[in-house]
Amino acid sequence: MRDRPGSTVRAKVHVVDDGQERVRRDTLATEEPLELRLLAGGDRRTLAVTMRTPGHDFELAAGFLHGEGVVASPEDIRRISYCTDVDVEQQYNIVNVTLDELPDLPGLDRHFATTSACGVCGKESLEALKIRGCPVLGSGPSVDAETVYGLPDALRKAQGLFESTGGLHAAGLFGADGSLVCVREDVGRHNAVDKLIGWALMSGRLPLSDHVLMVSGRTSYEIMQKALAAGIPVVCAVSAPSSLAVSLAEEFGMTLVGFLRNRRFNIYAGAERVKLPALAGPR
Protein backbone atom coordinates (compact mmCIF):
# COMPACT_ATOMS: atom_id res chain seq x y z
CA MET A 1 0.00 0.00 0.00
CA ARG A 2 1.38 3.41 -0.96
CA ASP A 3 1.66 6.34 1.43
CA ARG A 4 -1.30 8.65 1.75
CA PRO A 5 -0.81 11.59 -0.66
CA GLY A 6 -0.54 15.07 0.78
CA SER A 7 -1.98 18.30 -0.57
CA THR A 8 1.46 19.55 -1.68
CA VAL A 9 4.68 18.07 -3.03
CA ARG A 10 8.20 19.44 -3.30
CA ALA A 11 9.95 19.72 -6.66
CA LYS A 12 13.31 20.94 -7.99
CA VAL A 13 13.03 23.90 -10.35
CA HIS A 14 15.50 25.86 -12.44
CA VAL A 15 14.76 29.54 -11.97
CA VAL A 16 15.89 31.79 -14.83
CA ASP A 17 15.96 35.47 -13.91
CA ASP A 18 17.34 37.99 -16.40
CA GLY A 19 19.60 35.38 -17.96
CA GLN A 20 20.83 33.98 -14.64
CA GLU A 21 19.94 30.43 -13.58
CA ARG A 22 19.65 29.03 -10.10
CA VAL A 23 18.22 25.79 -8.74
CA ARG A 24 15.85 25.73 -5.79
CA ARG A 25 13.03 23.70 -4.29
CA ASP A 26 9.44 24.69 -4.98
CA THR A 27 6.07 23.65 -3.53
CA LEU A 28 3.46 22.33 -5.96
CA ALA A 29 -0.21 21.62 -5.48
CA THR A 30 -0.81 17.88 -5.62
CA GLU A 31 -3.11 16.60 -8.37
CA GLU A 32 -4.17 12.98 -8.19
CA PRO A 33 -7.21 10.95 -9.29
CA LEU A 34 -10.05 10.19 -6.93
CA GLU A 35 -12.42 7.36 -7.82
CA LEU A 36 -15.87 7.63 -6.25
CA ARG A 37 -17.63 4.30 -5.70
CA LEU A 38 -21.16 3.68 -4.48
CA LEU A 39 -21.88 0.56 -2.44
CA ALA A 40 -25.25 -0.91 -1.46
CA GLY A 41 -25.86 -4.48 -0.41
CA GLY A 42 -23.62 -6.55 -2.62
CA ASP A 43 -23.59 -4.03 -5.47
CA ARG A 44 -20.76 -1.65 -6.27
CA ARG A 45 -20.65 1.01 -8.96
CA THR A 46 -17.98 3.52 -9.95
CA LEU A 47 -19.80 6.80 -10.29
CA ALA A 48 -16.99 9.19 -11.20
CA VAL A 49 -13.27 9.76 -11.38
CA THR A 50 -11.99 13.28 -10.83
CA MET A 51 -8.56 14.85 -10.62
CA ARG A 52 -8.30 16.58 -7.26
CA THR A 53 -5.98 17.88 -4.57
CA PRO A 54 -5.95 15.30 -1.73
CA GLY A 55 -7.56 16.52 1.46
CA HIS A 56 -11.19 16.65 2.58
CA ASP A 57 -11.87 13.71 0.24
CA PHE A 58 -14.97 12.57 2.15
CA GLU A 59 -16.43 16.07 1.91
CA LEU A 60 -15.68 16.07 -1.82
CA ALA A 61 -17.54 12.78 -2.22
CA ALA A 62 -20.53 13.92 -0.15
CA GLY A 63 -20.73 17.29 -1.90
CA PHE A 64 -20.50 15.71 -5.33
CA LEU A 65 -23.29 13.25 -4.52
CA HIS A 66 -25.46 16.05 -3.14
CA GLY A 67 -24.95 18.21 -6.20
CA GLU A 68 -25.91 15.32 -8.46
CA GLY A 69 -29.07 14.61 -6.46
CA VAL A 70 -27.88 11.21 -5.20
CA VAL A 71 -28.15 12.20 -1.53
CA ALA A 72 -30.21 14.91 0.17
CA SER A 73 -29.13 14.65 3.81
CA PRO A 74 -26.39 13.11 5.96
CA GLU A 75 -28.79 10.31 6.88
CA ASP A 76 -28.75 9.13 3.25
CA ILE A 77 -25.10 8.14 3.67
CA ARG A 78 -24.47 5.08 5.80
CA ARG A 79 -20.69 5.26 5.63
CA ILE A 80 -17.82 6.96 3.79
CA SER A 81 -14.42 5.31 3.79
CA TYR A 82 -11.28 4.83 1.77
CA CYS A 83 -10.99 1.57 -0.13
CA THR A 84 -9.22 -1.00 2.04
CA ASP A 85 -9.02 -3.86 -0.47
CA VAL A 86 -5.61 -5.45 -0.01
CA ASP A 87 -5.10 -5.85 -3.76
CA VAL A 88 -5.62 -2.13 -4.45
CA GLU A 89 -2.40 -0.13 -4.70
CA GLN A 90 -3.84 3.40 -4.47
CA GLN A 91 -6.22 2.93 -1.56
CA TYR A 92 -6.29 6.60 -0.62
CA ASN A 93 -7.39 7.52 -4.14
CA ILE A 94 -10.61 5.51 -3.92
CA VAL A 95 -13.53 6.56 -1.72
CA ASN A 96 -16.40 4.18 -1.00
CA VAL A 97 -19.79 5.66 -0.14
CA THR A 98 -22.23 3.15 1.31
CA LEU A 99 -25.94 3.82 0.73
CA ASP A 100 -29.07 1.86 1.61
CA GLU A 101 -29.62 1.26 -2.10
CA LEU A 102 -28.14 2.40 -5.36
CA PRO A 103 -30.21 5.20 -6.89
CA ASP A 104 -31.78 4.75 -10.30
CA LEU A 105 -29.90 7.47 -12.15
CA PRO A 106 -28.82 7.46 -15.80
CA GLY A 107 -25.32 8.44 -14.70
CA LEU A 108 -24.94 5.11 -12.92
CA ASP A 109 -25.37 3.19 -16.15
CA ARG A 110 -21.92 4.22 -17.29
CA HIS A 111 -18.56 5.02 -15.81
CA PHE A 112 -17.72 8.63 -16.49
CA ALA A 113 -14.68 10.71 -15.70
CA THR A 114 -14.49 14.34 -14.71
CA THR A 115 -11.42 16.54 -14.75
CA SER A 116 -10.32 19.18 -12.30
CA ALA A 117 -11.24 21.78 -14.92
CA CYS A 118 -14.58 20.84 -16.45
CA GLY A 119 -16.74 19.33 -13.73
CA VAL A 120 -19.39 16.75 -14.55
CA CYS A 121 -20.90 16.80 -18.00
CA GLY A 122 -24.35 15.50 -18.91
CA LYS A 123 -26.88 17.85 -17.28
CA GLU A 124 -26.94 20.47 -20.00
CA SER A 125 -30.55 21.51 -19.58
CA LEU A 126 -32.29 23.54 -16.93
CA GLU A 127 -35.17 21.11 -17.31
CA ALA A 128 -33.06 18.46 -15.62
CA LEU A 129 -32.99 20.57 -12.46
CA LYS A 130 -36.75 21.12 -12.60
CA ILE A 131 -37.32 17.40 -12.96
CA ARG A 132 -35.12 16.85 -9.89
CA GLY A 133 -37.43 19.16 -7.99
CA CYS A 134 -34.95 21.98 -7.36
CA PRO A 135 -37.13 24.90 -6.20
CA VAL A 136 -36.90 28.56 -7.03
CA LEU A 137 -35.00 30.06 -4.10
CA GLY A 138 -36.73 32.40 -1.67
CA SER A 139 -35.88 36.00 -0.97
CA GLY A 140 -32.68 35.14 0.88
CA PRO A 141 -30.35 37.66 2.50
CA SER A 142 -29.74 41.26 1.50
CA VAL A 143 -26.01 41.85 1.05
CA ASP A 144 -24.43 45.28 1.25
CA ALA A 145 -22.24 46.30 -1.68
CA GLU A 146 -19.38 47.03 0.72
CA THR A 147 -19.61 43.45 1.94
CA VAL A 148 -19.44 42.19 -1.65
CA TYR A 149 -16.36 44.30 -2.32
CA GLY A 150 -14.54 42.63 0.57
CA LEU A 151 -15.20 39.00 -0.36
CA PRO A 152 -12.22 38.42 -2.72
CA ASP A 153 -9.66 39.66 -0.20
CA ALA A 154 -11.27 37.67 2.61
CA LEU A 155 -11.18 34.52 0.47
CA ARG A 156 -7.61 35.12 -0.63
CA LYS A 157 -6.39 35.59 2.96
CA ALA A 158 -7.98 32.27 3.93
CA GLN A 159 -6.22 30.32 1.16
CA GLY A 160 -3.39 28.69 3.05
CA LEU A 161 -2.46 26.24 0.29
CA PHE A 162 -2.55 28.91 -2.40
CA GLU A 163 -0.10 30.94 -0.33
CA SER A 164 2.48 28.16 -0.58
CA THR A 165 1.75 26.91 -4.12
CA GLY A 166 0.06 29.69 -6.10
CA GLY A 167 -1.88 27.00 -7.97
CA LEU A 168 -5.21 26.31 -6.29
CA HIS A 169 -8.79 27.46 -6.67
CA ALA A 170 -10.93 28.22 -3.65
CA ALA A 171 -14.58 28.30 -2.65
CA GLY A 172 -15.61 30.26 0.41
CA LEU A 173 -18.88 30.28 2.33
CA PHE A 174 -19.74 33.63 3.91
CA GLY A 175 -22.52 35.02 6.03
CA ALA A 176 -24.55 37.92 4.67
CA ASP A 177 -22.40 40.24 6.80
CA GLY A 178 -19.21 39.04 5.10
CA SER A 179 -18.06 36.78 7.94
CA LEU A 180 -16.13 33.74 6.69
CA VAL A 181 -17.80 30.46 7.62
CA CYS A 182 -15.68 27.91 5.74
CA VAL A 183 -13.19 27.74 2.88
CA ARG A 184 -11.94 24.82 0.79
CA GLU A 185 -9.18 24.66 -1.84
CA ASP A 186 -8.50 22.35 -4.78
CA VAL A 187 -6.88 22.31 -8.21
CA GLY A 188 -10.42 22.11 -9.56
CA ARG A 189 -12.98 24.87 -9.05
CA HIS A 190 -15.83 22.37 -8.95
CA ASN A 191 -14.00 20.17 -6.46
CA ALA A 192 -13.50 23.13 -4.12
CA VAL A 193 -17.25 23.80 -4.22
CA ASP A 194 -18.03 20.12 -3.66
CA LYS A 195 -15.73 20.02 -0.62
CA LEU A 196 -17.40 23.11 0.80
CA ILE A 197 -20.95 21.83 0.28
CA GLY A 198 -19.94 18.38 1.48
CA TRP A 199 -18.70 19.97 4.71
CA ALA A 200 -22.06 21.74 5.11
CA LEU A 201 -23.99 18.55 4.34
CA MET A 202 -22.06 16.43 6.83
CA SER A 203 -22.35 19.19 9.44
CA GLY A 204 -26.14 19.29 9.08
CA ARG A 205 -26.08 22.90 7.87
CA LEU A 206 -28.07 22.56 4.64
CA PRO A 207 -29.86 24.44 3.19
CA LEU A 208 -27.52 27.43 3.16
CA SER A 209 -30.30 29.92 2.50
CA ASP A 210 -28.67 32.82 4.41
CA HIS A 211 -25.20 32.50 2.91
CA VAL A 212 -23.02 33.72 0.05
CA LEU A 213 -20.72 31.53 -2.05
CA MET A 214 -17.52 33.12 -3.34
CA VAL A 215 -15.40 31.30 -5.93
CA SER A 216 -11.95 32.19 -7.17
CA GLY A 217 -12.49 31.62 -10.90
CA ARG A 218 -15.29 31.85 -13.40
CA THR A 219 -18.84 30.69 -12.71
CA SER A 220 -20.16 27.80 -14.78
CA TYR A 221 -23.46 25.99 -14.96
CA GLU A 222 -22.07 23.21 -12.78
CA ILE A 223 -21.09 25.56 -9.98
CA MET A 224 -24.50 27.23 -10.05
CA GLN A 225 -26.17 23.79 -10.04
CA LYS A 226 -24.26 22.80 -6.92
CA ALA A 227 -25.10 26.11 -5.22
CA LEU A 228 -28.77 25.75 -6.12
CA ALA A 229 -28.93 22.22 -4.71
CA ALA A 230 -27.40 23.54 -1.47
CA GLY A 231 -29.91 26.41 -1.32
CA ILE A 232 -27.28 29.14 -1.67
CA PRO A 233 -29.02 32.27 -3.04
CA VAL A 234 -25.98 34.46 -3.79
CA VAL A 235 -22.94 33.39 -5.82
CA CYS A 236 -19.98 35.71 -6.45
CA ALA A 237 -16.89 35.15 -8.59
CA VAL A 238 -13.77 37.06 -9.53
CA SER A 239 -14.22 36.19 -13.21
CA ALA A 240 -16.99 35.83 -15.78
CA PRO A 241 -20.07 33.61 -15.72
CA SER A 242 -21.13 31.42 -18.62
CA SER A 243 -24.38 32.08 -20.44
CA LEU A 244 -25.98 28.97 -18.97
CA ALA A 245 -24.90 29.98 -15.47
CA VAL A 246 -26.77 33.25 -15.94
CA SER A 247 -29.83 31.43 -17.32
CA LEU A 248 -29.86 29.11 -14.31
CA ALA A 249 -29.63 32.06 -11.90
CA GLU A 250 -32.52 33.81 -13.62
CA GLU A 251 -34.65 30.67 -13.78
CA PHE A 252 -34.22 29.74 -10.10
CA GLY A 253 -34.16 33.17 -8.47
CA MET A 254 -30.45 33.30 -7.64
CA THR A 255 -28.15 36.30 -7.45
CA LEU A 256 -25.05 36.01 -9.64
CA VAL A 257 -22.15 38.46 -9.35
CA GLY A 258 -19.13 38.33 -11.66
CA PHE A 259 -15.89 40.23 -12.31
CA LEU A 260 -15.70 41.02 -8.61
CA ARG A 261 -12.37 42.79 -8.23
CA ASN A 262 -10.93 46.20 -7.37
CA ARG A 263 -14.19 47.50 -5.88
CA ARG A 264 -16.14 46.74 -9.02
CA PHE A 265 -18.57 43.98 -9.98
CA ASN A 266 -21.31 43.07 -12.45
CA ILE A 267 -24.68 41.71 -11.33
CA TYR A 268 -26.01 39.27 -13.92
CA ALA A 269 -29.15 38.15 -12.06
CA GLY A 270 -30.94 38.85 -8.78
CA ALA A 271 -29.81 42.45 -8.34
CA GLU A 272 -32.50 42.99 -5.69
CA ARG A 273 -30.39 41.15 -3.09
CA VAL A 274 -27.47 43.58 -3.38
CA LYS A 275 -27.83 46.82 -1.38
CA LEU A 276 -26.16 49.69 -3.18
CA PRO A 277 -25.19 52.93 -1.44
CA ALA A 278 -27.75 55.75 -1.65
CA LEU A 279 -27.05 58.19 -4.44
CA ALA A 280 -25.79 61.59 -3.37
CA GLY A 281 -28.11 63.43 -5.75
CA PRO A 282 -30.78 62.94 -8.42
CA ARG A 283 -29.98 60.40 -11.13
- For 115-135, write each residue's pLDDT tens digit: 544 444 434 457 777 767 788
pLDDT of residue 153: 94
pLDDT of residue 126: 77
CATH 3.10.20.10 residue ranges in the chain?
32-122
Segment 161-178 mean pLDDT: 81
Tens digit of pLDDT for each residue in 62-86?
999 999 999 999 999 999 999 877 6
Cα 6 to Cα 272: distance, rounded to the nearest angstrom? 43
Q: Architecture of 143-275 per CATH? A: 3-Layer(aba) Sandwich (3.40)
pLDDT of residue 123: 44
Instruction: Tell which wins on pLDDT, 156 or 280.
Output: 156
Question: Torsion-angle region of residue 270: left (phi > 0), alpha (psi -120 to 50) or beta?
Answer: left
Which of 127-136, 162-171, 203-212 is modeled with the greatest confidence? Answer: 203-212
Question: Residue 108: helix, strand or coil by DSSP?
Answer: helix
Segment 124-149 mean pLDDT: 84
pLDDT of residue 139: 86
249 contacts 256 by C-beta, under 8 angstroms: yes
Of 91, 98, 124, the closest CA to residue 40 belongs to 98
Q: Is 261 annotated as a binding residue?
A: yes
Q: Residue 282: is its pLDDT beyond 90?
A: no
Q: Is 64 annotated as a binding residue?
A: no
Cα 71 to Cα 104: distance, rounded to the nearest angstrom? 12
**What band does 35 get if pLDDT is binned at 50, 70 and 90?**
very high
Is residue 118 flagged as an active site residue?
A: yes
pLDDT of residue 119: 45
Which among 83, 118, 182, 236 is annotated as catalytic? 118
32-122: CATH, from 3.10.20.10, 3.10.50.40, 3.30.1280.10, 3.40.50.620: 3.10.20.10
Q: Is 260 annotated as a binding residue?
A: yes
Tens digit of pLDDT for each residue in 244-258?
999 999 999 999 999
Q: Is 52 annotated as a binding residue?
A: no
Q: Is 189 annotated as a binding residue?
A: no
Mean pLDDT for the chain overall: 86
Instruction: Tell which wins on pLDDT, 109 or 2.
Output: 2
pLDDT of residue 90: 66
Q: Residue 227: is its pLDDT beyond 50?
A: yes
pTM: 0.87
Cα 76 to Cα 53: distance, rounded to the nearest angstrom? 26
Q: Please state, in angstroms and as integers, the Cα–Cα distance from residue 4 to each residue in 21, 89, 176, 238, following that order.
A: 34, 11, 37, 33
CATH 3.40.140.10 residue ranges in the chain?
143-275
